[in-house]
């Protein structure tokens, strides 16, 4: 669900085909019939944006028919844990959880916790605010639990306030019939999928859930994944071979750039960026961000080691290891928030490195308007992208609303090196770091980012070398000396990786994050990557052929944490440490050696902690995790069916309609996710949803997506001849019924209109797009791949022009996968007439103001 794996990850899909050949059943739940559906045993067509409803139906079936994996749920999840009596579910509060504060549109989360614990914190706050980015800033969070144990739990799971019972009541309304009416599928579809999952789970079997941006790019993106987590935990499919929830990431190192983040709210290894504090010390930071128990119990070690890696000798116990050098975040400084700030003149400079917001971001027109407000813009890419050329060529120039002479922004285009022109590591979608060897030097002025940022840093450091200003101390004291190599004096990426992996004061390399100390005697750039340079060897560069290893292939690359290939794999053994079954044997307790052993993977668990280990009440860190609690990142070691902390929009997923929807929320009184981030303004108007006047002006659901033949906004594919020819033109996919309704002819042109813009696309009328019956009405979907733009061998309008900015408040990702639109036959008007067309729609829908 939420993934079109055959199209977007074709090479990964070989394993699905292989599993299928061995008898696995493949189910594809997706609004469209895609190349993945074509290979599936069953395709269920659902309305875009109703995944939680569908999954809720599946969860409800599992709960109602008692199909959960009892031993797993009892011991490994928080199913038995009793919640606070003050907690109120969406059932009780008409679509809200307890703690809702309508004045600031945020949840207070005090009531969401385990019974008997104190107020939950997030980033040092007890209220979820927009500057707190869900899990990403709260990976280090969790409640303080004495001895790593929830105060009250009921192993019979019968207590009315225990999680399993709360869950059962919460999902009771997701009946097959109710779900079918929301999703536009058949009730049997829900039952069949639930039955297939349940049948194929348990001791002997496991099922996997695969998702991608079809789940994340929603105002309820995180809760989509939470719903899958609940299902997989109930069925006992986490931490076991053949199970899991597989996030298929779309870019070579998007996983790595989250782990070692170029993200505003986290530091490497998901350590939160500090917030402004009354008492801005390291101790306060650790106290407010790290629970005392579980792997995060050692947050202070991780943080001190990071500070030592960055500020080296300058970081001492006396100066709190330069903790004060870190800048603070106190609001949403994520991409879209910053682009809006830019539009208002609050940002002077921008650096776009391999990124192309002028066509790649939602509401591209707003993005370009924001870029025009910059003083300076730096773009690094293989060729000038639409972003680099926004001042000269854009749809706005074509419309006549801007001219190059009218744009003050100074633009630098710097050519970049390709992946074969530099050494370095990518982290793939399964946390595996794989090293790339440099094949040759980049041409002309092209340079690697390593070379560029290092030299830029050196120039800036030189210019500030004599500064007395305290704000320049962090940059002056930064460790910035690396061995240089090659024609262009490039810092050796191998040395950078060694810094990330970490070493002791004496220069010896660290083996794993267990070695990290909070006294400044170790340095480590990213605690989860500690050990990737173990023994002074670049472990990510290991390339022992897969054919010479077993299927785990542990001598190929290196996976964080601790080169673990299946995370939480303690769960592959039963509470006593025996494999759940011979068939699904993976990690188990070996009594004779007194340690965890496995088929070849490392245990994601303290290696010699016996299954019957019972932590003392005063234990901290990993020592506080019992021998039968696999989820060591959580303070209680349990998988969370219910999330007492970490999320801004509720401890459980609930179905909310997308920001723009032709239907009312049939389950709750609350139409959309109450915490979603919206930015109503002239350049970002929203369409009325069902039940509001003007909703019928944009009657169709619009979904954007990718094709196998192209890559994202197209910079790396529209410019490559062999790919450009395969999908040469922007097209939209519509059903024969919609085509008949709107007079669209196959192969000819259509204009898709939203309140943001109007674009033209060739029409593909296809049986693969199905009108669905939802709430007694027919729903039509307009599918639009978004690969095109103004630069390249093949060009065309960009579907991203149409989308509004409406974000999931946990992670600030916009709802690309569903909005509403209208579609007309024929090409779009040119010049000012396009603006007039959009204006007329705005007026009719009443969204002008």
Binding residues among 360-389 for other proteins as defined by CB under 8 A: 360-362, 375-376, 378, 382-384, 388
Residue of 733, 766, 731 lying closest to 749 (CA atoms)? 731
Of 58, 193, 500, 695, the one binding other proteins (CB under 8 A) is 500
Distance set, CA 666 to CA 672, 774, 806 (Å)? 11, 10, 21
Nearer of residues 15 and 160 to other proteins, judged by Cβ: 15
Beta carbons of 761 and 810 less than 8 angstroms apart: no
Quickly list H helices, 372-492.
395-399, 449-463, 473-476
If binding means CB under 8 A, how many residues of this protein chain bind other proteins? 211
The window from 106-114, 544-552, 607-615, 677-685 that contacts other proteins (CB under 8 A) reads: 544-552
Of 105, 108, 116, 280, the one binding other proteins (CB under 8 A) is 280
Nearer of residues 525 and 674 to other proteins, judged by Cβ: 525
Nearer of residues 341 and 683 to other proteins, judged by Cβ: 341
Strands of 374-417 (E only): list them: 376-381, 410-415
Nearer of residues 155 and 410 to other proteins, judged by Cβ: 410
Nearer of residues 275 and 570 to other proteins, judged by Cβ: 275
Nearer of residues 353 and 610 to other proteins, judged by Cβ: 353
What one-character DSSP code corresponds to residue 766?
A: -
Quickly list H helices, 47-121.
51-64, 70-76
| 522 Cβ neighbours under 8 A, 6+ residues apart | 301, 304, 305, 308, 502, 503, 504, 505, 510, 515, 516
Of 149, 189, 399, 574, the one binding other proteins (CB under 8 A) is 189
The window from 63-71, 105-113, 147-155, 276-284 that contacts other proteins (CB under 8 A) reads: 276-284
Q: Which of residues 606-645 bind other proteins (CB under 8 A)?
A: none
State the DSSP H helix or E strand holding residue 256, giving kind and residue range, or none if neither.
helix 256-259
Of 58, 163, 369, 411, the one binding other proteins (CB under 8 A) is 411
Of 643, 684, 703, 727, the one binding other proteins (CB under 8 A) is 727
Cα–chain center distance at 499: 26
DSSP sequence for 529-548: GTTTTGGGS-GGG-B--GGG
Q: Which of residues 761-790 bind other proteins (CB under 8 A)?
A: 762, 764, 766-768, 770-773, 778
Per CB under 8 A, 719 contacts other proteins: yes
Query: What is the spatial distance between Cα 3 and Cα 640, in angstroms, rounded to a whole number?
Result: 24
Per CB under 8 A, 324 contacts other proteins: yes
At residue 403, the 3 state secondary structure works out as coil
Of 12, 116, 829, 846, the one binding other proteins (CB under 8 A) is 12
Residue of 308, 599, 561 lying closest to 427 (CA atoms)? 561
Which position has the token pair 């969070």?
Answer: 141
What one-character DSSP code corresponds to residue 278?
A: S
Per CB under 8 A, 414 contacts other proteins: yes
Beta carbons of 477 and 311 less than 8 angstroms apart: yes
The window from 35-43, 76-84, 292-300, 593-601 that contacts other proteins (CB under 8 A) reads: 35-43
Query: What is the spatial distance between Cα 734 and Cα 765, in angstroms, rounded to a whole number?
Result: 5
State in angstroms the smallest separation of the CB of 442 from other proteins: 8
State in angstroms the smallest separation of the CB of 538 from other proteins: 11
Nearer of residues 453 and 837 to other proteins, judged by Cβ: 453
State the DSSP H helix or E strand holding residue 371, giving kind and residue range, or none if neither.
helix 364-371
The site string for other proteins over 342-361 (x = CB under 8 A, - otherwise) reads x---xxxxxxxxxxxx--xx
The window from 161-169, 237-245, 425-433, 648-656 that contacts other proteins (CB under 8 A) reads: 425-433
Per CB under 8 A, 312 contacts other proteins: no
Of 105, 108, 116, 187, the one binding other proteins (CB under 8 A) is 187
What one-character DSSP code corresponds to residue 299?
A: H
* Bridge partners for 242 per DSSP: none
Nearer of residues 229 and 253 to other proteins, judged by Cβ: 253
Beta carbons of 404 and 391 less than 8 angstroms apart: yes
Per CB under 8 A, 24 contacts other proteins: no
Distance set, CA 594 to CA 273, 590, 612, 629, 836 (Å)? 39, 6, 12, 17, 75
Nearer of residues 304 and 626 to other proteins, judged by Cβ: 304
Per CB under 8 A, 428 contacts other proteins: yes
Beta carbons of 603 and 570 less than 8 angstroms apart: yes
718 burial level (CB within 10 Å; 0-12, 13-18, 19+)? buried
Nearer of residues 489 and 836 to other proteins, judged by Cβ: 489
Query: What is the spatial distance between Cα 556 and Cα 535, in angstroms, rounded to a whole number?
Result: 16
| 388 Cβ neighbours under 8 A, 6+ residues apart | 352, 377, 379, 381, 411, 413
Nearer of residues 456 and 692 to other proteins, judged by Cβ: 456
Of 70, 401, 595, 708, the one binding other proteins (CB under 8 A) is 708
Q: Which of residues 739-758 bind other proteins (CB under 8 A)?
A: 746-747
Nearer of residues 152 and 476 to other proteins, judged by Cβ: 476
Q: Which of residues 798-827 bind other proteins (CB under 8 A)?
A: 811-814
Per CB under 8 A, 468 contacts other proteins: no
The window from 30-38, 74-82, 238-246, 657-665 that contacts other proteins (CB under 8 A) reads: 30-38
At residue 459, the 3 state secondary structure works out as helix
Per CB under 8 A, 703 contacts other proteins: no
The site string for other proteins over 219-258 (x = CB under 8 A, - otherwise) reads -----------------------------xxxxxxxxxxx
Per CB under 8 A, 91 contacts other proteins: no
Token representation of residue 787: 């690969």
The window from 145-153, 551-559, 577-585, 671-679 that contacts other proteins (CB under 8 A) reads: 551-559
State in angstroms the smallest separation of the CB of 430 from other proteins: 8
How many CA atoms within 13 Å lie on the side-chain side of 453? 11
The window from 29-37, 57-65, 195-203, 630-638 that contacts other proteins (CB under 8 A) reads: 29-37
Beta carbons of 635 and 143 less than 8 angstroms apart: yes
State in angstroms the smallest separation of the CB of 834 from other proteins: 21
Question: Looking at the chain, how many residues does it have?
Answer: 849
> For the stretch 238-260, what's the b/e string if a residue is b when 16 or more beta carbons lie within 10 angstroms of its beta carbon?
bbbbbbbbbbbbeebbebbeebb
Beta carbons of 213 and 816 less than 8 angstroms apart: yes
CA Rg value for the chain: 27
DSSP sequence for 120-152: --BTTBSB--TTS-HHHHHTT-----GGG--S-
Q: Which of residues 470-499 bind other proteins (CB under 8 A)?
A: 471, 474-475, 478, 480, 491, 493, 496-497, 499
The window from 152-160, 272-280, 572-580, 651-659 that contacts other proteins (CB under 8 A) reads: 272-280
State in angstroms the smallest separation of the CB of 108 from other proteins: 21
Residue of 760, 754, 758, 732 lying closest to 834 (CA atoms)? 758
Q: Which of residues 113-152 bind other proteins (CB under 8 A)?
A: none
214 burial level (CB within 10 Å; 0-12, 13-18, 19+)? buried
The site string for other proteins over 501-540 (x = CB under 8 A, - otherwise) reads ------------------------xx--x-----------
Per CB under 8 A, 218 contacts other proteins: no
Nearer of residues 346 and 607 to other proteins, judged by Cβ: 346
Of 72, 426, 558, 631, the one binding other proteins (CB under 8 A) is 426
Of 313, 440, 506, 617, the one binding other proteins (CB under 8 A) is 440
């Amino acid at each position: 669900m939420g993934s079109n794996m055959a199209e977007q990850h074709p090479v990964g899909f070989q394993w699905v085909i292989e599993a299928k050949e061995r008898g696995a059943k493949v189910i594809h739940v997706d609004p469209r019939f895609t190349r993945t559906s074509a290979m599936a045993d069953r395709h269920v067509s659902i309305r875009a944006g109703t995944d939680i409803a569908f999954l809720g139906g599946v969860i409800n079936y599992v709960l109602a028919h008692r199909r959960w994996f009892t031993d797993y749920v009892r011991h490994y999840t928080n199913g038995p844990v009793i919640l606070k009596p003050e907690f109120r579910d969406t059932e009780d509060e008409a679509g809200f959880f307890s703690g809702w504060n309508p004045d600031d549109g945020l949840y207070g989360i005090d009531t969401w916790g385990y019974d008997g614990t104190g107020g939950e914190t997030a980033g040092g706050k007890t209220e979820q605010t927009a500057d707190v980015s869900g899990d990403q800033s709260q990976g280090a969070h969790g409640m303080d639990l004495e001895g790593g144990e929830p105060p009250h739990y009921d192993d019979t799971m019968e207590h009315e306030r225990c999680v399993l019972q709360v869950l059962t009541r919460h999902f009771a309304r997701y009946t097959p019939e109710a779900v079918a009416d929301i999703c536009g599928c058949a009730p049997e579809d829900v039952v069949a999928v639930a039955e297939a999952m349940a049948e194929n789970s348990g001791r002997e079997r496991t099922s996997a859930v695969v998702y991608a941006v079809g789940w994340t790019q929603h105002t309820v993106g995180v809760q989509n994944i939470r719903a899958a987590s609940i299902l997989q935990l109930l069925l006992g499919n986490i931490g076991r071979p053949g199970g899991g929830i597989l996030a298929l990431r779309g870019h070579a190192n998007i996983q790595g750039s989250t782990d070692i983040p170029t993200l505003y709210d986290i530091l490497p290894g998901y350590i939160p960026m500090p917030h402004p504090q009354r008492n801005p010390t390291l101790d306060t930071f650790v106290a407010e961000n790290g629970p005392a128990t579980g792997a995060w119990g050692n947050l202070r070690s991780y943080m001190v080691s990071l500070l030592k890696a960055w500020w080296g000798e300058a970081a001492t116990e006396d100066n709190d290891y330069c903790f004060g050098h870190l800048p603070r975040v106190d609001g949403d400084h994520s991409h879209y928030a910053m682009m809006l700030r830019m539009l208002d003149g609050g940002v002077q400079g921008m650096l776009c490195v391999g990124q192309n917001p002028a066509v790649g971001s939602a509401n591209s027109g707003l993005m370009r308007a924001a870029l025009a407000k910059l003083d300076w813009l730096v773009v690094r890419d293989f060729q000038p992208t639409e972003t680099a050329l926004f001042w000269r060529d854009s749809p706005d120039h074509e419309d006549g609303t801007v001219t190059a002479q009218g744009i003050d922004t100074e633009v630098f285009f710097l050519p970049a090196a390709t992946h074969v022109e530099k050494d370095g590591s990518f982290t793939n979608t399964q946390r595996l770091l794989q090293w790339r060897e440099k094949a040759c030097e980049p041409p002309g002025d092209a340079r690697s980012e390593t070379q560029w940022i290092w030299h830029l840093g050196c120039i800036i450091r030189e210019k500030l070398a004599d500064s007395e200003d305290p704000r320049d101390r962090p940059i002056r004291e930064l460790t910035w000396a690396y061995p240089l190599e090659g024609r262009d004096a490039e810092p050796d990426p191998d040395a950078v990786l060694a810094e990330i992996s970490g070493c002791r004061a004496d220069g010896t390399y660290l083996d794993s994050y267990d070695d990290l100390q909070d006294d400044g005697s170790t340095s480590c750039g990213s605690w989860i990557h500690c050990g990737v340079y173990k023994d002074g060897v670049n472990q990510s560069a290991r390339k022992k052929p897969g054919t010479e290893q077993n299927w785990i292939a542990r001598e190929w690359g290196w996976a964080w944490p601790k080169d673990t290939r299946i995370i939480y794999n303690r769960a592959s053994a039963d509470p006593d440490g025996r494999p759940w079954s011979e068939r699904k044997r993976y990690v188990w307790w070996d009594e004779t050696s007194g340690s965890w052993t496995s088929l070849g993977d490392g245990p994601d668990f303290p290696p010699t902690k016996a299954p019957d280990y019972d932590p003392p009440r005063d234990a901290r860190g990993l020592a506080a995790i019992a021998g039968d609690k696999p989820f060591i990142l959580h303070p209680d070691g349990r998988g969370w069916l219910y999330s007492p902390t970490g999320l801004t929009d509720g401890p459980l997923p609930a179905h909310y309609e997308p920001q723009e929807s032709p239907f009312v929320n049939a389950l709750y009184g609350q139409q959309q996710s109450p915490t979603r981030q919206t930015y109503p303004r002239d350049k970002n108007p929203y369409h009325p949803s069902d039940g509001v006047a003007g909703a019928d002006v944009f009657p169709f659901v619009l979904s954007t997506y990718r094709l196998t033949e192209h890559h994202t906004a197209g910079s790396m594919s529209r410019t490559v001849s062999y790919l450009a020819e395969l999908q040469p033109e922007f097209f939209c996919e519509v059903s024969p019924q919609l085509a008949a309704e709107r007079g669209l002819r196959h192969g000819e042109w259509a204009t898709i209109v939203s309140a943001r813009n109007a674009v033209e696309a060739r029409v593909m009328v296809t049986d693969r797009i199905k009108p669905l019956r939802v709430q007694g009405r027919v729903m039509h979907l307009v599918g639009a791949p978004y690969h095109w733009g103004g630069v390249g061998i093949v060009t065309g309008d960009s579907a991203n022009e149409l989308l509004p900015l409406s974000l999931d408040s946990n992670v600030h990702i916009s709802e690309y996968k569903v909005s509403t639109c209208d579609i007309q036959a024929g090409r779009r008007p040119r010049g000012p007439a396009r603006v007039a067309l959009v204006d007329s729609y705005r007026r009719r829908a009443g969204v002008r103001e």
